[in-house]
């Protein structure tokens, strides 16, 4: 005698329901197609993010879903071969509507100005800037004080200025080199 067909959800889907994994939908059409994928994107992320979810909890959750084979069945993917070429090429699939595109966000590289600011944070350059400021101030004081002999040229400020210029050149060269490395 044949038993009547089961009317409830498949075992993996029932396990997903026990884990408070819900179907997320944007509208009724998406809801019907997304029902084929009972795991929400957030639930999948929690299985992969060990900073938010302890590894022991991930193992228990994965075991309740039927292990890797159960998870693959819920995601409708072959564990040995992945997605078919046709499904990867198709832009409008229930999987893409449910989970989005599997693509990393573009990498935001630092700008030239950000590289220059980072170069200015070097302790040696900061010490040189302090020395340059002191040297420039004392040089200007010597050149424009009342004790200055009018027959002598006013060149004492040049040492401090030269240090500032050297630091500026070092920062520009460092920033440009780092910026070019980022482009490669």
37: left (phi over 0), alpha (psi -120 to 50) or beta: beta
CB–CB of 139/163 below 8 Å? Answer: no
Q: What are phi and psi of 151, to 5 degrees?
A: -80, -15
pLDDT over 80 (residue 184) = no
Where in the chain are the domains? Answer: 11-99, 112-183
Q: When comparing pLDDT for 143 and 169, which is higher?
A: 169
The arithmetic mean of pLDDT across residues 143-172, rounded, is 93
Predicted pLDDT of residue 34: 52
Q: Which residue is it, tokens 């002598």?
A: 152
37 CB-contact burial (10 Å; exposed 0-12 / middle 13-18 / buried 19+): buried
pLDDT-based confidence at residue 101 (cuts at 50, 70, 90): confident
Highest mean pLDDT among 19-33, 66-80, 98-112, 126-140: 126-140
- H helices of the chain, in order, are 11-18, 28-34, 41-48, 55-64, 67-75, 85-89, 94-99, 112-120, 123-144, 158-183
* Per-residue pLDDT reduced to its tens digit, 32-88: 455 678 888 888 887 777 777 788 888 888 888 888 898 888 888 888 988 888 888
Highest mean pLDDT among 39-53, 92-106, 137-151: 137-151
Half-sphere exposure of 94 (CA within 13 A, CB side): 19
Q: When comparing pLDDT for 106 and 132, which is higher?
A: 132
Q: When comparing pLDDT for 26 and 65, which is higher?
A: 65
Highest mean pLDDT among 46-60, 98-112, 147-161: 147-161
Predicted pLDDT of residue 133: 97
* Per-residue pLDDT reduced to its tens digit, 5-21: 444 444 544 445 444 44
pLDDT over 70 (residue 148) = yes
Gap between the Cα atoms of 149 and 144, Å rounded: 10
Q: What percent of the chain has pLDDT over 70?
A: 81
């Amino acid at each position: 005698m044949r038993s009547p067909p089961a009317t409830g959800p498949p075992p993996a889907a029932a396990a997903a329901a026990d884990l408070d994994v819900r179907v997320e939908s944007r509208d009724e059409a998406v809801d019907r197609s997304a029902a084929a994928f009972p795991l929400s994107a957030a639930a999948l992320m929690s299985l992969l993010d060990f900073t938010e979810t302890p590894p022991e909890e991930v193992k228990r959750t994965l075991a309740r879903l039927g292990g890797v084979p159960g998870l693959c069945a819920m995601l409708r993917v072959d564990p040995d071969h992945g997605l078919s070429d046709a499904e990867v090429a198709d832009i409008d699939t229930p999987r893409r509507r449910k989970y989005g595109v599997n693509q990393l966000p573009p990498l935001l590289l630092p700008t030239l100005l950000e590289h220059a600011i980072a170069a200015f944070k070097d302790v040696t350059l900061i010490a040189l800037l302090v020395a340059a400021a002191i040297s420039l101030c004392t040089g200007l004081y010597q050149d424009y004080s009342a004790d200055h002999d009018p027959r002598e040229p006013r060149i004492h400020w040049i040492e401090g200025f030269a240090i500032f210029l050297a630091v500026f050149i070092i920062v520009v060269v460092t920033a440009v080199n780092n910026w070019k490395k980022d482009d490669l």
